[in-house]
Amino acid sequence: MTTTEVADAAAHVLIVPLGATEQHGPHLPISTDTTIAVAWASQLALAMGDALVAPALPYGSSGEHQSFAGTISIGQDALRLVLIELARSAGVHHRRVIYVSGHAGNHEPLRSAVEQLRAEGHDVAGLVPRLEGADAHAGHTETSIMLYLEPASVRTDRLETGCTEPLHAIIEQLRSGGVVSVAANGVLGDPTASSADDGAMLWQELIAASDLGMERRPRSDRA
């Protein structure tokens, strides 16, 4: 869109997809979280009607994946500042800003940024993934969703089971040694039975569970 087209749209709401650039095992692209965020934001904008979707922010807080090639993380502090400045700027032309994050690891800086922006008087909200029973990372959940959204991007000949231990059992090791310390292939879950049909159902569950507040914490079983 050109500047005049954006002005003519007179959209009260700007939705900003917030993704990440990080490894997703040998079978999913490093842009997985950004792809999910963009699709989520686009569906939300259609439902709202009075909204535009901004270009995605493809970098987030992904330090736990840093041992794997392709991961580019800006960390929590930098992400928080970027989100604050983006919303301040966007707020000049849009009444409300909604961040839609495809990466649960962005939650803490997003929560903190939303809290400060609201204290400043900005109308800002954040959405983070909420799926009951989801596996942690690059497993059945994300792989099925990607088979539904962008099937050509999934390397189905490279599906591998990773660490299937519950997150509470490995969380301390993850914090100290990163994902590589518990899963050499970067997968936390089992993607081998993933399907587009499962992805469609998971996608509808994700959309149905969407709300526009940061009051609830996301499930802590996704990385």
pLDDT in tens, 50-84: 999 999 999 999 999 999 999 999 999 999 999 99
User: Which alpha helices (DSSP H) does the chain contain, by range?
Assistant: 3-9, 32-48, 75-90, 107-119, 140-149, 167-177, 196-208
Mean pLDDT of 121-133: 91
* Cα Rg of the chain (Å, integer): 17
Q: For residue 173, is pLDDT > 90?
A: yes
Q: How far apart are the first and last CA of the chain?
A: 34
What is the residue extent of each domain of the chain?
3-208
What span, in angstroms and rounded, lies between the C-alpha atoms of 81 and 52?
A: 22
What span, in angstroms and rounded, lies between the C-alpha atoms of 115 and 152?
A: 39
**C-alpha dihedral, 160 to 166 to 171 to 177, nearest 10°:** -20
Residues near 97 by Cβ (< 8 Å), separated by ≥ 6? 13, 14, 15, 16, 86, 87, 90, 91, 117, 122, 123, 124, 125
Structure tokens at 201: 């159902």
Q: For residue 220, is pLDDT > 80?
A: no
pLDDT of residue 212: 62
> Which pLDDT band, with edges at 50, 70 and 90, does 213 fall under?
low
pTM across the whole model: 0.93
Q: For residue 18, is pLDDT > 70?
A: yes
Architecture of the domain whose range is 3-208: 3-Layer(aba) Sandwich (3.40)
Q: What angle do CA 213, 219, 222 make, to 5 degrees?
A: 120
